[in-house]
Amino acid sequence: MIYLVLLTLLGGTMVTSVWASNLMWVLLLANWVLEGRWREKWQMARESRLLQAWLALYAVLAIGMAWTQNTGHGLDVLRVKLPMLALPLIILTTRPLEGRARRTVLWLYASTVLVVSIIGFVRLTTIAGLPYREAIPYLSHIRFALNCCMVFYICIGTMIHWQSRWRWLALPVGLWMLAFLVMLHSYTALAVLTVVSIAILLTHYRRWWLIAAWAAVAVAVAVILSYEVHSYYHMVPMATEPLKAATANGNPYSHAEDGIIENGNYMNNYVCREELRKEWDNRSALPYDGHTESGYTVESTLVRYLNAMGQTKDSVGMAAMSDADIAAVERGVANPVYESGNVVKKMVYVMLLEREFYVHTHAVAGFTMLQRFELWRTTADIVKENPVLGVGTGDVDDELHAQLYERESELSGTSKRSHNQYLSLMAAVGLLGFAVILFMFIRAAAGNKAKLSPLMLAWLITILISCLTEDTLDTLAGILFCTYFLAFRDRQCTNTTH
């Protein structure tokens, strides 16, 4: 009973409080020690290949301390990862939740995620200029998005399997989770949902109406995305006309002709900084050579904003800007689309802008995916230089930052991590250590003869994909996400939930 209560509380605190989450897993460990049943636990531990895989993961990282240079950071890494050692040990040597207890704990967890998402929505709609990354005050929006995915899966499973008059409450909750993921601009989570949907349809729900519904959604999404891409690249008349040499006032234009397109215009054509400076200083108290509230330069933000409006970057373009447009630039808004309220359009435009910068300038600063490409490439080079044993558990971040500095990367001097759990592990313990970890988890999967339930299959795919773009196991929220749902496996360790 105490285990059930603590597990329920952990499910709630894992998305609301780091301090409380730490307290809950420590209390779970204390309860596990006090409840005894050592012979039974030892037998379960001996039989659980999955537990052995988690223990091997932690053990390999601990062994990696033998050749690390930054011992202090290495010890801190092992300290942060203690829940990754403790929770599988506790959960996989305790009988799995079943029936009503399982549904109750899952839905209390889902209810907490729902409440936090509503808090995030209120913050986004009431706090002017709040970045979507700061919508969730308790943890990273990336980690929270993974939990939104899980609630979506729980809702789908409830609608199909749970025979109760309340099950249709799952429909609006699931749709809300999907909508909130769009509000969070969570590309990874949306990709996860797509892959999971296909996997579950192929393995569990081969029902014509589900397949038809998924196909209809896929077609609708494809049409919307195609329309937005066409809208982004549809060239306005000014962009296709011969370039003019001077403004209406006779001042010379600057035409970079670097090929960067945004909103159907070449971003750095038709720029007259002399006129921009004069007109901006007449309309704003923010210096032209200063920075906006978001940290970007006024000039670059203003040029992008006028370009997105389809205006020349001169006195004529400035005259077309309203006071609201000036205020938007002061806040750091570089494209009116970002203020339009069409989240899908904004997501597509941001992604295409990143592509434009990557293709034409190879710049990465300020662009989420481009930064990841830079970090992945650098981390992969660390693995190439230290292929067998890696650099040690505590030296990955130091080596990454050193290489970024040597390459004079725009990310030099930042606190960025590799943003890929697989590469991070290879860099820390080498291909040899990674091979041991991989073998242990494959061994656990091979020993599981029964088919994974829909929810656990979805959870597994979510973890695997998230580790491609994030250091999921380097934060408490990520570790809890990867270990908490082990409690919902079935007696054969098939991770059954429904």
Same domain, 159 and 218: no
Same domain, 279 and 332: yes
Same domain, 190 and 210: no
**What is the mean predicted confidence (pLDDT) over 344-359?**
89
pLDDT of residue 449: 67
pLDDT of residue 162: 65
| In contact, 177 and 117? CB cutoff 8 Å | yes
**What is the mean predicted confidence (pLDDT) over 160-169?**
71
Cα angle, residue 125 at apex, residues 122 and 128 outer, rounded to 5°: 125
List helix spans (H) across 64-140. Answer: 71-80, 82-92, 99-126
Look up the pTM and report it: 0.86
pLDDT at 8 over 80: yes
pLDDT of residue 50: 93
- Taking the C-alpha atoms of residue 257 and residue 448, their distance in angstroms, rounded to an integer, is 59
Same domain, 166 and 241: no
Final residue in a domain of this structure, among 203, 220, 235 = 203
- What's the Cα-to-Cα distance from 282 to each of 276, 277, 286, rounded to whole Å? 10, 9, 10
For residues 84 and 132, the model is more confident at 84
| In contact, 141 and 186? CB cutoff 8 Å | yes
pLDDT at 498 over 60: no
Residue 252, strand partner residues? 246
Residue at 350 is within a domain: yes
Same domain, 214 and 318: yes
Give the model's confidence band at 496: pLDDT under 50 very low, under 70 low, under 90 confident, else very high.
very low
Residue at 193 is within a domain: yes
Same domain, 233 and 357: yes
Same domain, 196 and 241: no
Residue at 392 is within a domain: no
Residue at 67 is within a domain: no
Same domain, 125 and 181: yes
pLDDT of residue 373: 87
Same domain, 293 and 356: yes
For residues 438 and 210, the model is more confident at 438
Final residue in a domain of this structure, among 185, 203, 221 = 203
| In contact, 475 and 140? CB cutoff 8 Å | yes
Number of domains the chain is built from:
2
**What is the mean predicted confidence (pLDDT) over 411-428?**
91
Residue at 352 is within a domain: yes
pLDDT at 164 over 80: no
pLDDT digits (tens, 9 = 90+) for 188-230: 888 898 888 888 888 877 777 778 888 888 899 899 999 999 9
Give the model's confidence band at 494: pLDDT under 50 very low, under 70 low, under 90 confident, else very high.
very low
Proportion of the chain above pLDDT 70, given as a percent: 97
Structural domain for 145, as ranges? 97-203
Give the model's confidence band at 178: pLDDT under 50 very low, under 70 low, under 90 confident, else very high.
very high
Cα angle, residue 386 at apex, residues 382 and 391 outer, rounded to 5°: 80
- What's the Cα-to-Cα distance from 482 to each of 3, 89, 251, rounded to whole Å? 19, 13, 60
pLDDT of residue 495: 37
| In contact, 189 and 145? CB cutoff 8 Å | yes
Residue at 45 is within a domain: no
Same domain, 342 and 225: yes
pLDDT digits (tens, 9 = 90+) for 85-101: 999 999 999 988 888 88
For residues 138 and 276, the model is more confident at 276
- Taking the C-alpha atoms of residue 92 and residue 278, their distance in angstroms, rounded to an integer, is 68
Final residue in a domain of this structure, among 180, 203, 226 = 203
Same domain, 209 and 356: yes
pLDDT at 493 over 70: no
Residue at 73 is within a domain: no
Same domain, 212 and 118: no
pLDDT of residue 471: 92
- Taking the C-alpha atoms of residue 191 and residue 178, their distance in angstroms, rounded to an integer, is 12
Give the model's confidence band at 497: pLDDT under 50 very low, under 70 low, under 90 confident, else very high.
very low
pLDDT digits (tens, 9 = 90+) for 392-405: 999 999 999 999 98
DSSP character string of 451-479: PPPHHHHHHHHHHHHHHHHS-GGGSHHHH
- Which structure tokens are listed for 386? 């230290």
For residues 351 and 129, the model is more confident at 351
Residue at 7 is within a domain: no
**What is the mean predicted confidence (pLDDT) over 362-384?**
86
**What is the mean predicted confidence (pLDDT) over 99-128?**
91
pLDDT at 16 over 60: yes
